[in-house]
Amino acid sequence: MWVNEAIKKLGIRYPIIQAPMAGGITTTELITSVASSGALAMIGAGYMKPDSVRKQIREIKKQTTRPFGINVFVPRPFSADLKQIQTAKEILKPFTEEDIATEIPTFEKEQETYEAIIEIILKEEVPICSFTFGLPAKAVIERFKEKNTILIGTATTVKEAIEAEKAGLDMVVLQGSEAGGHRGNFLHDAEESSIGLMSFIPQTVNQVTIPVIAAGGIMDARGALAARCLGAAAVQMGTAFLTCKESGAHDLHKKAILTATEDKTVMTKAFSGKWARGIQNEFIAKTKSRQSELPAFPIQNALTKGIRSASSARNSTDFMSLWSGQSPMLAKDQSVEELIQSLIKEAEEVRGLL
Amino acid sequence: MWVNEAIKKLGIRYPIIQAPMAGGITTTELITSVASSGALAMIGAGYMKPDSVRKQIREIKKQTTRPFGINVFVPRPFSADLKQIQTAKEILKPFTEEDIATEIPTFEKEQETYEAIIEIILKEEVPICSFTFGLPAKAVIERFKEKNTILIGTATTVKEAIEAEKAGLDMVVLQGSEAGGHRGNFLHDAEESSIGLMSFIPQTVNQVTIPVIAAGGIMDARGALAARCLGAAAVQMGTAFLTCKESGAHDLHKKAILTATEDKTVMTKAFSGKWARGIQNEFIAKTKSRQSELPAFPIQNALTKGIRSASSARNSTDFMSLWSGQSPMLAKDQSVEELIQSLIKEAEEVRGLL
């Protein structure tokens, strides 16, 4: 595989980053396996509590001396409209017999958790930190720069990538429309910011000077080398790592991806209030017509939490959020080492095509 | 650039196909310039009358001995619901002071035109014929095979590509979600069939044995080589040729693309009754909320024809269909020769990145 300044800066062997998937997927086992494989491991701290973040960072440090990174969600102001919450509860009623969560997240609390996690990342000196759903404040960036932390933004449009560079971030992940999970858009709406990587990468590298990392639908050497041709310095893969043996994703989630076809992923905001790509299921289908009435992220996410866990607890994918990129047919039930080694090996063959 | 069996079979020098854009874009000047450049020129016969098709084929043959191809729309059954037409006329009223077309297309007439064009293509022995919106009937395929015509299908999902191979077509164009103009989906709805090329190409080449041609957002050597890494035998470019000096696209259309950003293309079915990607404008914005009420293609297309031409006649893009892929920022005001030569030259540099 290619080597460049971005790879050297990240201290990794291969230009491959494991996407910081939130929600229990990036277990310490996954992180250490990815780090050992020569790719960059990333903790998805999105929904984690500060204490768990500190604990996992320390656990990882005991098990590996290789660099790893962490991703945080940048909170954006939101408020709880009581009528909207009532409507959401009505929409969600057919999916549960339990009471729907009444503890509604507030922006203040989200901001507090975010700030606490930032302090931990600084104190524990995690060498790489990436951000989703927005850009960190100037003061936060300055504090990280004092520690020489490598900062990575997430963009879904050229303008968002330009903003990440202007803010002083070192690199930027370009999230193509192919990507699974939540859209990282923060300046545009979902439609404007669903750009296929074939279009997104070259248009962005013409406008920014920081290295760009391609994310969305990349599962093997073909995707990695394609992203490189388009101008990416590295690739970030989510779904490909999610189905690995070491990932903490629910077995039903892995199985759903391993048996899905490329036409079965859809965009929905019914799970969390923010658009995200996942495998079509009953919950998505039945809430589709009323998506616009739901409260914003992370309120809707809190409201559906019980429904999602109850579904997985009874071994049913019907109401689970089965996040997946658009390439489920390329997913494999394998170890991280197998994923990385086969990618590296196949890269030679792909290069031979040109 | 790479050479393979598919390129040899098509009789071209470079693995580049000019997309058969309908609506007056593929003038004889464009076709002969593309043929001279070493790429494959394609007539977009979509809305043409049989006589014009015959005339253009003969005109081209007088000017070049190089191979060229033609694309036809495969008619699909549709019917005119009078109430729906009345609703459409009401929705369209704010956009015109003229009477809205009362000559409503019928499936029988569309089928008749299609059959007449097929006869002409057979008789004139055009060496390459591609199909959009569906697959040709078995009998049509057999007649083409007797003439050794190379047949190319258009697919928007893996299943559609598999069907194209099963039907006996020689190659298949994979239309990624990045592509401008009409979606070619015929087995799936628009959402299911909006797959980014990064995902679409590798998943398809794992399932079919015929060569695949990548289409959508590809504008230069970066996109072409990326498509090759993903498994494509050749690329088909629309928007890149549309803004060329030789194309017959309206100057306002060219200018709209040349000044657009990647976040400004949207999917709409308000122009024709079929989903298509174009640059956001007043017509799209104002019809958005009522798209589901409009009649099917090509009825809605007939109803908006006057509105579109009147808009361009008064030099306004407000009500024009400004089809574009997701890479308008890579479009250039250049000749076909410049487009192809710079692509070939840059291919060496891109190859050097790997």
Which of A:1-40 have CB within 8 Å of B? 2
Which pLDDT does position B81 carry in this prediction?
84
Examine the pLDDT at B102 and tell me if it is beyond 80. Answer: no
Judge whether residue A98 has pLDDT over 90.
Answer: no
B192 and A264 within 8 Å at the Cβ level: the answer is yes
Could you report the per-residue pLDDT of B113-157, keeping only the tens digit for each?
A: 999 999 999 999 999 999 999 999 999 999 999 999 999 999 999
3-state secondary structure at position A30: helix
Residue with the larger pLDDT of the pair B192 and B163? B163
Using the Cβ of A263 and the Cβ atoms of chain B, whether some distance falls under 8 Å is answered with yes
Mean pLDDT, rounded, for B59-74: 98
Residues of B in contact with A159 (CB under 8 A): 261, 263
Helix pair angle (B197-205, B158-166), 10° resolution:
40
pLDDT at B321: 98
Closest partner residue to B329 (CB to CB) among A193, A206, A216 is A206
The answer to whether A5 and A228 are in contact (CB under 8 A) is no
Q: Report the pLDDT value the prediction gives residue B192, as an integer from 0 to 100.
A: 86
The three-state secondary structure class of B347 is: helix
Residue of A229, A266, A279, A324 to mutate for B, most B C-beta atoms under 10 A: A229
How confident is the model over B309-335, as a mean pLDDT?
A: 97
Query: Which residues of chain B make contact with A353, given a CB cutoff of 8 A?
Result: 2, 228-229
Q: Could you tell me which of A256, A259, A284 has the C-alpha nearest to residue A272?
A: A284
Q: What percent of chain B has pLDDT over 70?
A: 100
Angle ∠(A99,A285,B182) on CA atoms, nearest 5: 150
The predicted pLDDT at position B172 comes to 98
pLDDT score at A26 = 98
**Once rounded to an integer, what is the mean pLDDT over residues B342-353?**
96
pLDDT given at position A160: 98
Q: Is pLDDT at A5 greater than 90 in this prediction? A: yes
Q: Report the residue from A158, A202, A218 with minimal CB separation from B261.
A: A158
Residue A27 has pLDDT above 90, yes or no: yes
Q: Do A203 and B157 touch (CB under 8 A)?
A: no
What pLDDT score does A75 carry?
97
Instruction: Dump the DSSP string for B282-295.
Output: HHHHHHGGGGGGSP
Q: How confident is the model at residue B178 (pLDDT cuts 50, 70, 90)?
A: very high
Report, as an integer, the average pLDDT of A109-138.
98
Residue B267: φ, ψ to 5°:
-95, 135
| ipTM summary value | 0.97
- Given a cut of 80, whether residue B203 has pLDDT beyond it is yes
Interface contact flag, A159 B351, Cβ < 8 Å = no
Residue A191 has pLDDT above 90, yes or no: no
Cα B68 to Cα B51: distance, rounded to the nearest angstrom: 18
Instruction: Provide the mean pLDDT of chain A.
Output: 97
For residue A291, give the nearest of A266, A312, A311 by alpha carbon. A266
Q: Which two tokens stand for residue A95?
A: 């999916």
The pLDDT score that the predictor gives to residue B80 is 78
Please choose, from the candidates A14, A139, A177, the residue with its C-alpha nearest in 3D space to the C-alpha of residue B217.
Answer: A177
Which chain A residues touch B177 with a CB distance below 8 Å? 177, 194, 196
Q: Which residues on chain A are in Cβ contact (under 8 Å) with B329?
A: 158, 203, 206-207
Which residue(s) pair with B266 in the sheet?
B278
Give the range among A325-334, B75-84, B155-164 with minimum mean pLDDT.
Answer: B75-84
- Residue B190: per-residue pLDDT: 84
Cα gap A168→A151, rounded to integer Å: 8
Check pLDDT > 90 for residue B99. Answer: no
In which band, very low, low, confident or very high, does the pLDDT at B168 lie, cut at 50, 70 and 90? very high
A298 cis-preceded (ω within 30 degrees of 0): yes
User: Residue B44 pLDDT > 90, yes or no?
Assistant: yes
Q: How far apart are CA A350 and CA B330, in angstroms?
A: 26
How many alpha carbons lie under 13 Å from residue B165 in its C-beta half-sphere? 15
Please state the rounded mean pLDDT for residues A129-146: 98
Interface mutation target, options B2, B195, B263, chain A, most CBs of A under 10 Å: B263
* Sheet hosting strand A171-175, strand order edge to edge: A16-18, A234-237, A212-215, A171-175, A150-155, A128-132, A68-73, A41-44
- Distance in angstroms between the alpha carbons of the first and the last residue of chain A: 15
pLDDT digits (tens, 9 = 90+) for B235-281: 999 999 999 999 999 999 999 999 999 999 999 999 999 999 999 99
Contact A213, A234 (CB under 8 A): yes
In the predicted model, what is the mean pLDDT of residues B285-313?
95
Give the architecture-level CATH label for domain A5-82+106-250+331-352.
Alpha-Beta Barrel (3.20)
Residue range A33-84, pLDDT digits in tens:
999 999 999 999 999 999 999 999 999 999 999 999 999 999 999 987 889 9
Position B85 scores a pLDDT of: 94
